[in-house]
Structure 1
Amino acid sequence: MTTSTARVLALLEILQGGGLRTVPDLAARLGVDERTVRRYVGHLLELGVPVDSVRGRYGGYRLAPGYRMPPLMLTDEEALAVVLGLLAGRRAGLGTASAAASESATAKLLRVLPAALRRRLDALLDTADFTARPRPADAPETDVLLELAEAALHRRPVTIGYTDRKGRDSDRTVLPYGLVAHAGRWYLTGADPAVGEIRTFRLDRVTTLRVRSGSFTAPTEFDPAATVLDGLARTPWTHDVSLRIRGGVRHIRRHLPAEIATVTTPDEDTDWVGVRIRAERLDWIPAVLAALDRPFVIERPAALRDLVRALARRLDEHAAHDDDSV
C-alpha cells in the first residue's frame, strides 16, 4: 500500500474517533501540511465517506453523525483471496477506469477488516513482488462493460459506436453473446445482423453504447472464449513471423508469452521449437531473440533477418569501445 493511501486511512481512523478535528491538528498527527490534509479529505469523499467540513475560526472536519463503517466478516483465506484478486486483476490490465479503482477498493477492504488480519495483509502487500510485469492496457469504461454484461445476460441487442484497428468509425447493431477477458483486454463477441456473421469487438474501442428494445436467442453450445481466440488468430496483421528456436518451451515462454506468440512443441527426436508471431511491427523482435540467447532460424520474413543483423552490428560496435575511448 502506498504511503498516501496509508495516511488517508489514518485520517479516517482519526475522524472515526469522533468530534471535530482542526486542520492544523490533523496535519500534525499525519505528518503532512494542511493542503495535503484537504487533499486527503477529498480522497475520502471520493470513496463515499461522508466527511463534514465546518468553517470558521474553530472549524475543521468530522464524520457525518451516525456514520460508521460496517465490519466485514471474512476468514483469513477469504480476505487473502479478495486482496490478491484485486491485485492480480490490476497487474493483468483487466481494470476498468483506472488502477485507482482497484487501489481504493483494496483500501476500503483493509479498513474494515480486523486489525490483526489487516496488519498481516499490509505486510504481504508491502513485501510481495512479482516476476510478471504489470500489463498496461486501454481499459473500457466501467459503464460500457457493465451495460454489455447485462445486455448479454438478458439477450438484449445493442447499438455501438466503434473505431476499428485502422481508425475507421462506424455504428453497429450487435446481438451480444458474451464477454471475454484476454491478454489484458476485454472483448465482446456476438452476431452482427447487418453482415450475418459472428464478430469480435474490443471494448476499449467502443465509443458509444445504447441498449435497444427486443430480445434474441443465442446459439446453443456457443463458446465466447474460443470465438475470440479464433478471431484474433485470423486477424490480418502486417507481419507473419515464423521462427525455429533451439531451446526449452518454458524458457521461450518467459520471453514470448502466449498472447504474443504461438509455440509448437518439438517432436521427441528434436529440440527445435516452432514459433509464430503476428505483429504490426518487427523492430522489437530482434531484442527479444537476443534476450533468448538460443540458436534460432528465421523462416520468414526476410526483413527480420536484416533487423537482426543490424542489431548484431550495433552490439558489436558497442562492445568494441573500451574505457579509454569514452
Structure 2
Amino acid sequence: MTTSTARVLALLEILQGGGLRTVPDLAARLGVDERTVRRYVGHLLELGVPVDAVRGRYGGYRLAPGYRMPPLMLTDEEALAVVLGLLAGRRAGLVTTSAAAGESATAKLLRVLPAALRRRLDALLDTADFTARPRTPTAAAPETEVLLELAEAALHRRPVAIAYTDRKGRDSDRTVLPYGLVAHAGRWYLTGADPADGEVRTFRLDRITAMSVRSGSFDVPADFDPAATVLDGLARTPWAHDVSLRVRGGVRHIRGHLPPEIATLSTPDEAADEDAGWVHVRIRAERLDWIPPVLAAIDRPFVIERPAALRDLVRALARRLEEHATDESA
C-alpha cells in the first residue's frame, strides 16, 4: 500500500468519526499540506464516497448524513484468517503495537462484517483458547464451517453429533457436549464431555468429517480449563515410540530445532562429569522417520538411548548422504 493510499484511507477514517473537519485540522493530522488534503478528498469522491464540502470561515469536510461504509465482503474463511491472525499475533507477542491497538483493529473488522458472520466469529473468540505457536505452517487445518459451528455450539451450550476418525484410522459417530476449543501447536482441538458417561475427551478438528448441532443444553463445570485439559490429554496419549537421547550442545540451539511441543529437554547434574555439556531429550512420536533429519540439522554430537530402530534410521540417512556426496554422475 502506497503512502498516499494509506493517507486517503486515514482521511476516510477521520471523517467516519463524524462532525465537520476543517482543512487545517485534516492537514495537521495527516501530515500533509492543505492542497494535498483537497486532492485526497477528490480521490474519495472518485471512489463514490459522498464527502460534503462546507464553505465559509468555519468550513471544511464531512461525510454526507446517513452514509455508512458497506459491509466488508469477506468469505467465512477470509474473515476467519484475518481475525485469527490478529488474535494469534497478539497472543504470540508478534504484534509490535499495543494490545489496545490490536483489540481496536479486531473490533473495527467485526463491526463492518455481515451480522451473521460477525456472530459466529464472536462465538469463536469467546470460546477459543490458545497455547503454543504452530510448530509448522503445514499442520492440518479444520474446515472453517466445522470450526465456526462448533464455536457457536460451545458458546450456546448445545450438544453436537460428530463423525470422527481417530489417529488409528477408526471411524465412529459420537455425541459431545462441547466445552471449548483450543488452538495448540498449529492444530485445533475440541474438548468436551460424553453425555452418556460424563467422561471428558479431546478431539482434533481436522479429523471431524461431519457434524450437526443437536437440541438440548448443558452446563460447563465452573473450574473447567479447556487448554489445560487438551495439554493433559496429549501428554497421556500412548504414542508408538518413546525416544530418549542425549545431545551435546546448548539448550537454546537444540530448542531451535525441537520446540517444547515436540520434545522435553533436561540437563543433568553438573557434578556428573561424564554428562557435563549434554542435554537429555525425550520425544514421543508416532513415527521415527522425521527424527534423523532433525538430528542432522542440529549438527551436534548425540547418543541414542532408545529405541534401537532410530539408530538404524540414522545410519541409513548417513549412508544416503554419503552416496549423494560422492555421486559425480550429475
TM-score by length of 2: 0.57
d(CA) in 1 for partners of 2:300, 2:142: 39
Q: Deviations over 1:192-233 (max 9, x none)?
A: 133442100011112222222222222232221111111112
Letter in 1 for 2:280: G
Check 1:70–1:150 CA distance in 2 against 1; reply closer, same or farther (3 A cut).
closer
d(CA) in 2 for partners of 1:177, 1:259: 23
Counterpart position of 1:278: 284
- Bigger mean CA offset, 257-266 vs 155-164: 257-266
1:227-266 equivalences under 5 Å are: 227-266=229-268
Counterpart position of 2:310: 304
1:17-28 equivalences under 5 Å are: 17=46
Contact 1:246 1:271 in 2 (8 A): yes
Shift of 1:68: 7.2
Check 1:182–1:133 CA distance in 2 against 1; reply closer, same or farther (3 A cut).
closer
Shift of 1:87: 9.8
- Bigger mean CA offset, 268-277 vs 196-205: 268-277
Contact 1:16 1:68 in 2 (8 A): no
- Bigger mean CA offset, 226-235 vs 147-156: 147-156
d(CA) in 2 for partners of 1:254, 1:310: 24
Shift of 1:188: 0.6
Q: Deviations over 1:271-304 (max 9, x none)?
A: 2222122222212211111111111111111011
Shift of 1:70: 6.4
1:179-258 equivalences under 5 Å are: 179-258=181-260
Matched, 1:315 2:317: no
Letter in 2 for 1:262: T
Contact 2:135 2:186 in 1 (8 A): no
d(CA) in 2 for partners of 1:152, 1:177: 6
d(CA) in 1 for partners of 2:71, 2:324: 61
Shift of 1:69: 4.0
Check 1:139–1:260 CA distance in 2 against 1; reply closer, same or farther (3 A cut).
same
**Alignment coverage as a number of residue pairs:** 224
d(CA) in 2 for partners of 1:220, 1:87: 25
d(CA) in 2 for partners of 1:211, 1:305: 49
d(CA) in 2 for partners of 1:266, 1:83: 43
d(CA) in 2 for partners of 1:192, 1:142: 24
Q: Deviations over 1:102-144 (max 9, x none)?
A: xxx99x97xx9xxxxxxxxxxxxxxxxxxx9861122222232
Give SS of 2:172's match. strand
Check 1:252–1:18 CA distance in 2 against 1; reply closer, same or farther (3 A cut).
closer
TM-score by length of 1: 0.58
Query: Percent same amino acid among aligned pairs?
Result: 82
Check 1:254–1:222 CA distance in 2 against 1; reply closer, same or farther (3 A cut).
same
Contact 1:163 1:169 in 2 (8 A): yes
Counterpart position of 2:137: 135
Check 1:18–1:153 CA distance in 2 against 1; reply closer, same or farther (3 A cut).
closer
Contact 2:157 2:219 in 1 (8 A): yes
Bigger CA radius of gyration: 2
d(CA) in 1 for partners of 2:83, 2:152: 26
d(CA) in 1 for partners of 2:198, 2:283: 30
Letter in 1 for 2:212: R
Letter in 2 for 1:312: A
Contact 2:182 2:189 in 1 (8 A): yes
Contact 2:135 2:259 in 1 (8 A): no
Give SS of 1:255's match. coil
Check 1:294–1:69 CA distance in 2 against 1; reply closer, same or farther (3 A cut).
same
Contact 2:189 2:202 in 1 (8 A): yes
Q: Which runs of 5+ in 2 are unaligned?
A: 2-41, 49-65, 73-81, 93-104, 113-133
Check 1:195–1:301 CA distance in 2 against 1; reply closer, same or farther (3 A cut).
farther
- Bigger mean CA offset, 185-194 vs 257-266: 257-266
Kindly report the root-mean-square deviation, in angstroms, between the aligned alpha carbons of the 2 structures: 3.7
